[in-house]
Structure 1
Amino acid sequence: MTFPSRTRILGDHAGALPPTGVSLGLLLLRLMLGIIMVGHGTQKLFGWFGGPGIDGTAQFFGAYGYPAPKAMAFIAGLSETLGGLGLALGLLTPLAAAAVLGTMINALDVTWDGGFFLPKGVEFTLLVAVAATSLALTGPGRYAADHYLPVLRANRLAYGVAAIALALVAGAVVLLIRD
């Protein structure tokens, strides 16, 4: 059994688009993750979908020791909403993934004691964080707005690693300023 070469699969040039099946898989992942994050973000920002809105989210952040809880609620809601929109559209995918990942780093800290497979468990938050990280590294595929931004296509891995580093630093800084 012979395996196709990387050149045959990805093409001859740097930043080649992934095969159609891979791109369709990435599209499905981006759409679902993006829609879920937009939903969670708008719950925080506007109280949509039965969410607490800014004031309720601020109370939550205050209870967990975050300074300026209303500002933190706004930042979290905006990060989830705009990051989710970016992922769904495949627009500035590394930055959108960083917005989601940075928020999930703090959510992981809050949910970590919930264990796995429990009502307030960590598995959903962990799945979102890993999915965002994966999209930062792979790029959005050919069915994305980023397809029209050649610089992101050609430097996909470098931008992905930089976005993950940004998310880790931003998430850690926010964790460090908590009481």
Structure 2
Amino acid sequence: MTSPSVAATKPQATAPAAQSLPAAPSTAGHDAGLLLLRLVLGLTMAGHGAQKLFGWFGGGGISGTGQFFTASGYPAGDAMAVLAGLTETLGGLGLAAGLLTPLAAAAVAGTLVNAIAVHGTGSFFAPAGIEYELLLTAAAAALALTGPGRYAVDRLLPVLRAHRPAHGALALALGAVLAAVMLLVRS
């Protein structure tokens, strides 16, 4: 016969606990890294859009970019130049500020999907490759899924204060659908 004190110390058989990964804590380094990524990607894309819209940084402006779009098979080249320029500029500035980050990232990713399609897949590396566009697309998608971090305007908006990966996934799906529509209108 076992004494009550011995029985109380015997390990009890329990069901295994559900295995789940703990949420990664938001650290200053994590948030600073996301800020750096947002700034570099966002300002790069905003500058690229300014090339299309205003001819800045050696760009073709609306007419030069419109001619490129027409030659690439898009209808109404000037309208496409404005659309692409606004998407890149506003999406890029949204990323840099961390404003409506899932939508800004999806706008950038969707535009880059079209850039990859136009550029072609003849080679992965430069000068005729797609590695640059693919890297920018992946960075935008990663930001849509991870969120902007603490150093972002989104933190001031109650709806977006707590980033949810589902918001990013839905925004990326919307960006992919719109990119596909743009590719379909291309002849």
TM-score when normalising by structure 1: 0.89
Q: How many percent of aligned residue pairs carry the same amino acid?
A: 63
The match for 1:166 among 137, 150, 174 is 174
Measured after TM superposition, the shift of residue 110 of structure 1 is 1.1
Match of 1:53 in 2: 61
SS in 2 for 1:117: coil
Given that 1:115 and 1:121 are in contact with CA atoms closer than 8 Å, whether structure 2 keeps it comes out as yes
Measured after TM superposition, the shift of residue 20 of structure 1 is 1.3
Q: How many residues are treated as equivalent by the alignment? A: 167
Which has more helix, going by share of residues? 1
Structure 2: gaps (5+ residues): 1-20
Match of 1:96 in 2: 104
Measured after TM superposition, the shift of residue 153 of structure 1 is 3.2
Match of 1:133 in 2: 141
Measured after TM superposition, the shift of residue 154 of structure 1 is 2.8
Match of 1:15 in 2: none
Measured after TM superposition, the shift of residue 114 of structure 1 is 4.1
TM-score when normalising by structure 2: 0.85
- Letter aligned with residue 6 of structure 1: P
The match for 1:25 among 28, 33, 36 is 33
- From the CA coordinates, give the structure whose radius of gyration is larger: 2
Give the Cα separation in 1 of the matches to 2:180 and 2:49. 20
The match for 1:85 among 83, 90, 93 is 93
The match for 1:6 among 7, 16, 22 is 22
Match of 1:44 in 2: 52
Structure 1: gaps (5+ residues): 11-17
SS in 2 for 1:127: helix
Match of 1:113 in 2: 121
Give the Cα separation in 1 of the matches to 2:158 and 2:136. 27
SS in 1 for 2:83: helix
- Letter aligned with residue 56 of structure 1: G
